[in-house]
Structure 1
Amino acid sequence: MNYSDQFDSSDYQLAIEELLRNGDLNIQNENYLAAIEDYTRLLQLNPNESQAYWHRCLAWVELGNYQESIKDCTQYLKLRPDFVQGYISRAGLFKDIGNLQRAIEDCTHALSLGGLSSYWEQMAYSCRGDCYGLLNNYQAALQDYNQSIRLAPEEIKNYQKRGFIHQELENYHEAIADLTKVLRRNSEDSELVHCYHLRAGSHQSLRNWEEAIRDFTEVIRRDPTYYRAYIGRSGAYVFLNDRESAASDLETAARLSQAQGDTEGYQNAMKVMEVLGIKHRISDSDISHDDRQRPGNNKFLRIVASIWFPLVGVFLTVGFGLHLWINLALMVFLGSLNVASNPLALIGGYILLIIHALWVVFNED
């Protein structure tokens, strides 16, 4: 049905203007579904009304439907290919749905067209930098963040993004400088926990142990449940020979990660304690079921056992697990070959059992 047939020529334009006005009013009132209905009716009257596509695109964004928003933005750009900001807006939508390559292409196209204000130009560089960072192309990301900061030095978020890139590139001094600018500007922002954690990591990489401890402590003050900060701070304490504080932090990290259901975090905390030779003081109720089932916690003992009695070394590491049966099966298989009559074969078979046992010990996780 052609909706334009419902109107004579004198009312046609008035109907379009009224639908556009109603849609805009519904957006102002945050009635986005009603606005979409208005713009849809308008486009049925006039499929070439570019503003309807653009405004409906914005309504879809507010509803979190980025796929439909991209469709409308694309239709708008077909009608208005010179609207450079539209490409940058669509790039942001592509980034949000994970289509990073399309986002990069839109930003690059927008920058190639020129005529952008400094605000939109830095937005294009920043968006493209985000995408390159997510793709682990850190050098390209760094170049784009440099451009974005040059154009908008007051946009503090770009310093935080560049600080992360500098850290990934092991430019720790530069990372600290960028992150410090962010923290000086917004020192009480509750969302800056990650920023303090990043700077602490850079300080730690530069062996600035006291500075690292201060930043990790600030992370913990803002978020006492952030167990990774305890693990990081424990490392700095170790290098300052404060093993008691390191042990306390690692125990706290183990408890928090276990309470949060993060098995990997718990195992990391326990592994660091084992490597450092720190005797943990976590009660049996704080230890996971899997760890209670593990027969041997002394790694040196398990290594020695693996060399002299491979089957015992495997048992002390995994208990009655798959690898115990694999080691036992190897023993049975070697026995079936009657290797006792051949000394070299006997030695080779025994070495094979030792290798398997040591592999289990060093790869127990």
Structure 2
Amino acid sequence: TRYSSNPCFVLVSHAVAGTVAFVSQIPFQVMEAEGFKDQGNAFYVKKDYSEAFNYYTKAIDACPKNASYYGNRAATLMMLCRFREALVDSQRAVRLDDCFMKGHLREGKCHLSLGNAMAASRCFQKVLELEPSNSQAQQEVVLEYERMAELDFEKRDFRKVVYSMDKALGLASTCHRFKILKAECLALLGRYLEAQSVASDILRMDSTNGDALYVRGLCLYYEDCIDKAVQFFVQALRMAPDHEKSRLACRNAKALKAKKEEGNKVFKNSNFEAAYRLYSEALAIDPNNIKTNAKLYCNRGTVGAKLNKPDQAIEDCTSAIKLDDTYIKAYLRRAQCYMDIEQYEEAVRDYEKVYQTEKTKEHKHLLKTAQLELKKSKRKDYYKVLGVGKNATEDEIKKAYRKRALMHHPDRHSAATPEVQKEEEKKFKEMGEAFTVLSDPKKKTRYDCGHDLEEDSNNMGGQHLQVPGHFWGEWP
């Protein structure tokens, strides 16, 4: 009965009667293989892994269908740090016997040693399917999730850390260390309510837990409640004076508040260069503080606008929006900058976003104004045609018209090529249109307000194409 489960012995039951020599040979091979295995075990106990390997190999040669022999040799190869060979033997073992738990365990450990964490996890999960209470597999799985979490934390891949800790807590539900790491990463992901819930659960059981106090403070700090956050960091340091994360967070929180307040103060005093420098210094303190940094970027954008650096201001407002896409003030500031540099389509887009979020009369007015400026920007710019600014006086408009009319009058280009004559005539007509509108106060007002002037032009019978006065006579 010793060999009833041995694959080498099963062949005996199928032997044909009368083949005594063959039948007697099979049990001998089994016995020989078992003897080699026993000798291998003895050398393994003595830590003579090379000899153990040799005898386990002899056992396999004698009986190559026995899963445990491959499992034993895999264990020996692992002790010899020959993990790739050990992995091959472990995989052979579980292919022969899918319920061979030691084989799955060893395969998992080999995968770990070779850096294949996901494959290792699958092996350990297989063991737990076969035997849910297998403590060794549970421990290996938990340790692997912990190791993965540490690596992902270093990479700042906090979502993966939360995933690993959830898996680990499924097997070690009371582990405060795992809960704290999960809560910290939830805070770093901006999931403050979830993080506070985990930390509060721990504090209900242990009100002196410095890690949990730190996480509570971290959530408040990232929600821009800096004074309250500092209180939790200080309390955490009282409970655990060596809590380095609380010390660093407390220092950052105080520095951030001080720099921001100093920047606000000099801004109110119109010292914009100093304000820009202080906001920049504040932004360098903690890149993880999304909400506070969004405000700092927006503040710096306001300073940039005051310094007449619209592109820089737009860039800062965009940075604020990337950190907090619900930050209305940043959209409004950026939209105004776009208006200042006549990028009306971008301004309209920002004002539309604002109005969709907060449908106030003020926001509606800003949107309508931007839409009007966009409409005006797409028609012919009569001010540019005459080369004057939008605030030009009547005299400046007349002088500009006279100068350009002399330059582009068809009579002046009578000897030019047909192409040049056509182009100069076109410019001359445009100047006539521009002067007709801008020299008439009512038409100019309607033009400046963005009203449709095409209809008026069509009803003028082409008069706006004429040169006011007589070209070679009196000038306006």
TM-score range, shorter chain: 0.3 to 0.5
Q: What's the TM-score, normalizing by structure 1?
A: 0.46
**Larger Cα Rg: Structure 1 or Structure 2?**
2
Q: Structure 2-normalised TM-score?
A: 0.37
